[in-house]
Amino acid sequence: MTESKRDISKVRYDNEIRPRIHELLPLYSSVGWDAYTQSPEKLYQAVTNSLWCETAWRDDTLAGLVRVVGDDVSIAYVQDLLVVPELQGQGVGTRLLNDALDRFAHVRQFVLITDDDAKTLAFYARSGLGSAESAAVRCLLRG
C-alpha cells in the first residue's frame, strides 16, 4: 500500500467543528491562496460566517475544506473547496464536494466559480457540474 493510500484511510470528515485560524492558514497556504492568508482574521470570519462547512482532517491537521454560502433555499454557493496537495487526486475533494451536493440537493441553484483549467473543470464535471453557458446563463463579476 502506498503512503498516500495509507494517509487517505486516516482522513476523517466533520461538518460541525469550524477550524481555527492556526488550522486554516497552513491549508490555504499549501494551495497558494495567499489573498486569504494575508488577512487571517478575515479568513476566519469568512469561514465562521459560512452557511455550511465540512472539513477533512488527517490526524489533527486540517487537510481539506469545503464551505458554502447562501440562503439554504434558493442559492448555495461553494466559496472554497481546497485540499492539501499531497492528498489531491485521492478522493478527499470529491468526498467534500459530493457531501456539499447532497447537503444542498434541495436548493434550486448550486453554484461555484473556479479557475479555467482543464484539470479543475474535469474534476467538477465528474460530479455533474457544468458551465453556466451550458445552462444559457452568464456569470457577472465586479471589477
Of the candidates 66, 91, 86, 85, the one whose C-alpha atom is nearest the C-alpha of residue 76 is 66
Contact 124, 112 (CB under 8 A): yes
pLDDT score of 123 more than 60: yes
What 3-state class would DSSP assign to 2? coil
* Mean pLDDT, rounded, for 123-138: 87
pLDDT confidence bin for 5, thresholds 50/70/90: low
CA 29 from centroid of its chain's CA atoms: 14
Q: Calculate Rg over the CA atoms of the chain.
A: 15
136: pLDDT confidence band, cut at 50, 70 and 90?
A: confident
Mean pLDDT in residue range 4-11: 66
* pLDDT band per the 50, 70, 90 thresholds, residue 6: very low
Q: What is the pLDDT of residues 21-49, one digit of tens each?
A: 999 999 999 999 999 999 999 999 999 99
Per the CB < 8 A criterion, the answer to whether 72 and 51 are in contact is: yes
Question: Mean pLDDT throughout 122-140?
Answer: 87
Taking only the tens place, the pLDDT of each residue in 104-117 is 999 999 999 998 89
What is the per-residue pLDDT for 20?
96
Residues of the chain above pLDDT 90, percent: 80
The CATH number of 3-135 is 3.40.630.30
* pLDDT-derived band at 131, boundaries 50, 70, 90: confident
Domain spans of the chain, in order of start: 3-135
Short-list 97, 94, 63, CA closest to 80: 97
